[in-house]
């Protein structure tokens, strides 16, 4: 399963990077993300680990906010994009290849562990969360941002919304959108595609002993313009959940 996931992300590294890079280059979305991270973390200078950093978008946003950041990812393809993106921004930050479920760091190393769009793809989320807690200092904060993507039994209204969004994209962007689906084997084996979230995440964090758990729902509305929400909101709701060690 891990091998398949790594191959999946290696294969998508360049396309994924191209799609999410607009976060760095569009002021509107970058500012919205920065506000989200400032609210979730503090304004102090923190030592942060970004797990599943991918092309390093979040890692670079956090450097802009004045933090020291290390990004870790299992995919060498993604890490190459991350290094190119950091170089283009003249940021110097460290990227390490490694598995988020067996991190190559001592216990109690980081003030914060963040990850965006990673937990849903992990075969054993509990194990990952235990590991992320291990590398946090006592009192350190975990921030998970994720979404309800690729759910099995997508409700009818979302299926209809997706069809209408194709028309809207064709009219406003003069292109036919291509929705890349997950390999069925991966989807059927993922914990996240069949559970109600973020409720399931909250149960996991509690069971591992995280305290002061906070949930911020409906991030899509904060990140997207109304038109972009109509075009893309059908693919899943984004949320943030955080907790303190």
Ligand X SMILES: C[S@@+](CC[C@H](N)C(=O)[O-])C[C@H]1O[C@@H](n2cnc3c(N)ncnc32)[C@H](O)[C@@H]1O
Residues within window 159-198 making contact with ligand X, judged by CB under 6 A = none
Binding mask 200-219 for ligand X (x = CB under 6 A): --------------------
Residues within window 114-133 making contact with ligand X, judged by CB under 6 A = 116-118, 121-122
Instruction: State the Rg of the chain over Cα.
Output: 18
136 vs 243: CA distance, rounded Å: 11
Site size with ligand X, rule: CB under 6 A: 20
E strand map for 76-135: 94-97, 110-116
Choices 40-48, 50-58, 105-113, 181-189; region in contact with ligand X by CB under 6 A: 50-58
Cβ atoms within 10 Å, residue 234: 19
Candidates 40, 58, 143, 190; binder of ligand X (CB under 6 A) is: 58
- Decide the pairing of beta strands 68-73 and 47-51: parallel
Candidates 37, 48, 93, 100; binder of ligand X (CB under 6 A) is: 100
Q: Is 243 in the site for ligand X (CB under 6 A)?
A: no
Q: Is 52 in the site for ligand X (CB under 6 A)?
A: yes
Choices 39-47, 72-80, 191-199, 210-218; region in contact with ligand X by CB under 6 A: 72-80
Q: Is 93 in the site for ligand X (CB under 6 A)?
A: no
- 102 forms bridges with which residues in the sheet? 99
**Residue 195: which residues within 8 A CB-CB, separation 6 or more?**
none
Candidates 41, 48, 78, 143; binder of ligand X (CB under 6 A) is: 78
78 vs 21: CA distance, rounded Å: 13
Candidates 65, 91, 99, 168; binder of ligand X (CB under 6 A) is: 99
CB-based burial label for 231 (10 Å; 0-12, 13-18, 19+): buried
- Decide the pairing of beta strands 211-216 and 238-244: antiparallel
Q: Is 74 in the site for ligand X (CB under 6 A)?
A: yes
- Least separation, in Å, of the C-beta of 156 and ligand X? 26
Candidates 101, 111, 131, 237; binder of ligand X (CB under 6 A) is: 101
Q: Is the dihedral of CA 185, 187, 189, 190 positive or negative?
A: positive
Q: Is 41 in the site for ligand X (CB under 6 A)?
A: no
First-last CA distance in the chain: 29
- Least separation, in Å, of the C-beta of 110 and ligand X? 15
Question: What are the residues binding ligand X (CB under 6 A)?
Answer: 5, 9, 20, 52-54, 57-58, 73-75, 78, 99-101, 116-118, 121-122
């Amino acid at each position: 399963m891990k091998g398949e996931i790594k191959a999946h992300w290696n294969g998508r590294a360049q396309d994924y990077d191209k799609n999410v890079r607009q976060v760095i280059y569009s002021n509107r979305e970058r500012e919205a993300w920065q506000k989200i991270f400032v609210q979730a973390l503090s304004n102090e200078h923190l030592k942060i680990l970004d797990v599943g950093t991918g092309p390093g978008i979040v890692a670079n946003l956090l450097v802009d906010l004045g933090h020291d950041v290390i990004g870790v990812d299992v995919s060498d393809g993604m890490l190459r994009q991350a290094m190119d993106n950091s170089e283009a921004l003249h940021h110097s930050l460290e990227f390490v290849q490694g598995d988020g479920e067996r991190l190559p760091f001592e216990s109690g190393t980081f003030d914060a562990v963040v990850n965006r769009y990673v937990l849903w793809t992990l075969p054993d989320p509990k194990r990952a969360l235990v590991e992320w807690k291990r590398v946090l200092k006592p009192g350190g904060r975990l921030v998970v941002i994720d979404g309800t993507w690729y759910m099995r039994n997508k409700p009818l209204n979302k299926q209809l919304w997706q069809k209408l969004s194709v028309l809207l994209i064709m009219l406003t962007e003069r292109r036919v959108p291509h929705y890349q689906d997950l390999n069925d084997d991966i989807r059927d084996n993922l914990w996240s595609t069949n559970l109600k979230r973020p409720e399931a995440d909250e149960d996991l964090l509690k069971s591992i002993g995280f305290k002061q758990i906070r949930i911020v729902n409906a991030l899509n509305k904060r990140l997207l313009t109304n038109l972009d929400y109509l075009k893309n909101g059908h693919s899943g709701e984004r949320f943030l959940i955080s907790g303190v060690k």
